[in-house]
Amino acid sequence: MPASTTPASPPSFGTLVLRWYRINRDGLRATAIGIVSLLAFLLVWHLLTTYRVVFFVRFTNVPSPLAVYASFTKAIHDPKFLLHIALSCRRIFIGFSLAAIVGVPLGLIMGRFKLVHEIIFPVAEVLRPIPAIAWVPMAIMLWPTNEQSIVYITFLGSFFPILVNTLHGMSLVDPVLVRAAQCLGARERSIFREVYFPASLPHIFTGLTVGMGVAWVSLIAAEMISGQYGIGYFTWEAYSLVQYADIALGMIAIGVLGLGSSMLIRGAGQLVMPWRLK
Amino acid sequence: MNEILTKAPQGHIAVRNFSLSYDSIEGPVEAVTDTQIHVKPGEFVSIVGPSGCGKSTLLNAVAGFLKPTTGIVTVDGEKVNGPSAERGMVFQQYSLFPWKTVRENVEFGLKMRGMPRSQRERAARTLLGLAGLEAFEKHYPDKLSGGMKQRVGIVRALATGPKVLLLDEPFGALDAQTRVIMQQILTNMWQRLKISVLFVTHDIDEAIFLSDRVYCMTARPGSIKAEIPIPLERPRQQSMMMSSEFLALRRGLMSLIREESIKAMGGEISDMGLQGLNIELHGASLADVI
Ligand SMILES: Nc1ncnc2c1ncn2[C@@H]1O[C@H](COP(=O)(O)OP(=O)(O)OP(=O)(O)O)[C@@H](O)[C@H]1O
Ligand SMILES: [Mg+2]
């Protein structure tokens, strides 16, 4: 079929650019509009704060974008600020990794073996609705150090979304694929590795993405309540010290970190599931 | 049995005194009853019958997914106890592993058998070449047309060298043109391999075109209503479907099936209130009306 097209001379550079543009038109358009809309947001923020608008909501003390930028340039040279960020990232990394290391295999095993499901599911269902933040006092009692209790809260926050989504993925595995594997000589262990696990991967990654979001929510809350370091603590401390620009800086840092970590997970998902690429 | 052992043939399927009931809230549902079928080594046998008559049930029992309620299924004299690579299967839903490339799908059975990677890659390439699919070895199933997917499915089932091949309406989801091409491909492949095949379909033309013998099943609970040998010469070509011999076979099978289909639909027809129209609802008489 491709053989039937007549062989053409290599296309000129101009043609290539034009072709590239035609293929990526939608993406370019979205990027352009995205940039404009972000700039508009900054402009509105700037106007609201420089004119100190009071209209139910009070912008009197809200820092302007320029003030936040100034405190940002200062902060990136401040080792203490970088330490706050590094510690938060470490807590996320440990808490989230533990949640994934426990949650994914547990979900896979619960999905495969009824008895394990019947034993663990009721407990999980009772604990699941409790927000991680509500665990703070209990966590402080349970763990010897503050650091451990914060990591524990982060773990809890991401654990349940990961577990529930993995379970969901397992329940949707097409039984015909299991049969096909059996007819090809696959035994229990291979079926688990070659069918159940890859079939559940898309849902596992949904769980990881949601779990990562909840991990940040839980971490920031825990840091605000009981931390001595961390970006959540930094933000709360800025309020106590009347460093208004730092409040916004902390918030933006949290947003960027959250976005970055969920992009990491999405990237990992694309690496692990090449068959899902368009 | 003795005859099988002395000749030691490969791929002799025997189903004896077979019945199978499903459990349901209203009690056991008898899907297949009092059935005997067999497939000789290297023979191509089809099962046709009205919808819901238990064709898949019977095939799944041969595959080892279902246990007979009574009776026994054997392959080369050995009782079937569960699914195994000895019995390759192709499903109506394509059932390729979406996370594996075409070649990895074909390699799967060899991998399960513990064949080293380089060796099974070579074997898979050869097989894909025979099916004209070598250009697609790195594609994921998502990107393939239905006909190609099913070709990969057949190649995958054959890769481990099974004794028998079981197919459950493998072309049921394909359009008419692709279907015809797939039938030709399957009959060509079979002609080369001479593997025993048990093929389930509700397409009468397909059954005649492919088979050495066709079993026709009754409406549920299914049992064998008739066994029709297909004496058409081999290798089979699409042009044979116009021959008077083919058409005569077709007419015969058609009327057998129609009787059973009407029986199977009897309940529905009377539910729809057609009884009020004074249509006689018992078997052959309604067949005459329709
Ligand atoms: N798990 C089950 N539980 C109860 N009844 C079932 C079950 N599976 C199938 N049946 C019933 O058994 C009968 C035979 O089913 P089977 O799937 O073998 O039919 P079939 O001939 O393959 O039909 P089709 O042509 O639609 O594929 C059907 O009437 C069906 O409703
Ligand atoms: Mg069926």
Ligand 1 probe mutation, B23, B30, B48, B56, most atoms within 8 A of CB: B56
Q: Which two tokens stand for residue A252?
A: 């933006």
Residue A191: alpha-carbon gap to chain centroid: 30
A70 touching B, CB under 8 A? no
Residues of A in contact with B93 (CB under 8 A): 174, 176
Cβ under 8 Å to B: A residues 107-126: none
What per-residue confidence (pLDDT) applies to B286? 44
Model confidence band, residue B269 (pLDDT cutoffs 50, 70, 90): low
Q: Which two tokens stand for residue A79?
A: 């080792």
At B46, give phi and psi (nearest 5°). -110, 155
- CA–CA gap between residue A68 and residue A74 (Å, rounded): 10
Q: Strand runs (DSSP E) across chain A, as ranges?
A: 54-55, 57-58
B90, B100, B104, B108: best to mutate for the A interface, most A CBs within 10 A: B108
- CA–CA gap between residue A38 and residue A60 (Å, rounded): 23
What per-residue confidence (pLDDT) applies to B288? 46
Task: Measure in Å the smallest separation between the Cα of B151 and chain A Cα atoms.
Answer: 15
What per-residue confidence (pLDDT) applies to B108? 97
Model confidence band, residue B281 (pLDDT cutoffs 50, 70, 90): very low
- CA–CA gap between residue A241 and residue A234 (Å, rounded): 10
- pLDDT tens digits, one per residue of B162-214: 999 999 999 999 999 999 999 999 999 999 888 999 999 989 999 999 999 99
Considering CB atoms only, which of A177, A185, A274 is closest to B97?
A177
B66 touching A, CB under 8 A? no
Distant-in-sequence contacts of B120-129, Cβ < 8 A, 24+ apart: B123/B159, B124/B159, B127/B155, B127/B158, B127/B159, B128/B102, B128/B103, B128/B152, B128/B155
Q: Which two tokens stand for residue A245?
A: 């620009």
CA atoms within 13 A on the CB side of B249: 26
What per-residue confidence (pLDDT) applies to B5? 37
- CA–CA gap between residue B51 and residue B62 (Å, rounded): 19
At A58, give phi and psi (nearest 5°). -105, 120
Q: Where are the domains of chain B?
A: 2-86+162-289, 102-159
Hey, are the CB atoms on B160 and A190 less than 8 Å from each other?
no
Residue A246 · residue A235 · CB < 8 Å: yes
**pTM (predicted TM-score):** 0.86
Q: Which of A54-58, A112-116, A192-196, B279-283 has the lowest mean pLDDT?
A: B279-283
Alpha-carbon torsion (B260, B261, B267, B272), positive or negative: negative
B81, B87, B99, B140: best to mutate for the A interface, most A CBs within 10 A: B99
Q: What is the 3-state secondary structure (H, E, C) of chain B?
A: CHHHHHHCCCCCEEEEEEEEEECCCCCCEEEEEEEEEEECCCCEEEEECCCCCCHHHHHHHHHCCCCCCEEEEEECCEECCCCCCCEEEECCCCCCCCCCCHHHHHHHHHHHCCCCHHHHHHHHHHHHHHCCCHHHCCCCHHHCCHHHHHHHHHHHHHHCCCCEEEEECCCCCCCHHHHHHHHHHHHHHHHHHCCEEEEECCCHHHHHHHCCEEEEECCCCECEEEEEECCCCCCCCHHHHHCHHHHHHHHHHHHHHHHHHHHHHHHHHHHCCHHHHCCCCCCHHHHHHC
- Measured at the CA of B73, the angle between CA B72 and CA B75, to 5 degrees, comes to 140
- CA–CA gap between residue B95 and residue B149 (Å, rounded): 9
- This complex has an ipTM of 0.86
At B219, give phi and psi (nearest 5°). -65, 165
Percentage of residues in chain A with pLDDT exceeding 90? Answer: 88
What per-residue confidence (pLDDT) applies to A219? 96
What per-residue confidence (pLDDT) applies to B267? 59
Could you give the 3-state DSSP secondary structure of residue A130?
coil
Q: What is the mean pLDDT of residues A54-67?
A: 92
Residue A112 · residue A178 · CB < 8 Å: no
- CA–CA gap between residue A98 and residue A215 (Å, rounded): 11
Closest of A234, A220, A240 to residue A150, by C-alpha? A220
Q: Is the pLDDT of residue B130 over 90?
A: no
Burial A160-174 (b: 16+ CB within 10 A, else e): bbbbbbbbbbbeebe
Pairing mode, strands B213-217 and B44-48:
parallel
Q: Is the pLDDT of residue A120 over 50?
A: yes
Hey, are the CB atoms on B97 and A190 less than 8 Å from each other?
no
What number does CATH give the domain A65-276? Answer: 1.10.3720.10
Percentage of residues in chain B with pLDDT exceeding 90? Answer: 75
What per-residue confidence (pLDDT) applies to A5? 52
Q: Where are the domains of chain A?
A: 2-58, 65-276
- CA–CA gap between residue B275 and residue A235 (Å, rounded): 79
Q: Is the pLDDT of residue B274 over 70?
A: no
Q: Which CATH superfamily is domain B2-86+162-289 in?
A: P-loop containing nucleotide triphosphate hydrolases (3.40.50.300)
Q: Cα of B86 to ligand 1 centre, how many Å?
A: 25
What per-residue confidence (pLDDT) applies to A186? 96
Task: Measure in Å the smallest separation between the Cα of B262 and chain A Cα atoms.
Answer: 30
Considering CB atoms only, which of B83, B91, B109 is closest to A176?
B91
- pLDDT tens digits, one per residue of B34-57: 999 999 999 999 999 988 999 999
Model confidence band, residue B19 (pLDDT cutoffs 50, 70, 90): very high
Peptide bond into B141 cis (omega under 30): no
The DSSP call for residue A6 is P
What per-residue confidence (pLDDT) applies to A7? 58
Q: Is the pLDDT of residue A53 over 80?
A: yes
At B198, give phi and psi (nearest 5°). -115, 120
Tell me the C-alpha to C-alpha distance, in Å, between residue A187 and each of A231, A235, B62, B156: 49, 54, 19, 17
The DSSP call for residue A4 is G
Q: Which of A110-124, A217-231, B275-289 has the lowest mean pLDDT?
A: B275-289
B93 touching A, CB under 8 A? yes
Considering CB atoms only, which of A176, A190, A273 is closest to B112?
A190
Percentage of residues in chain A with pLDDT exceeding 70? Answer: 97
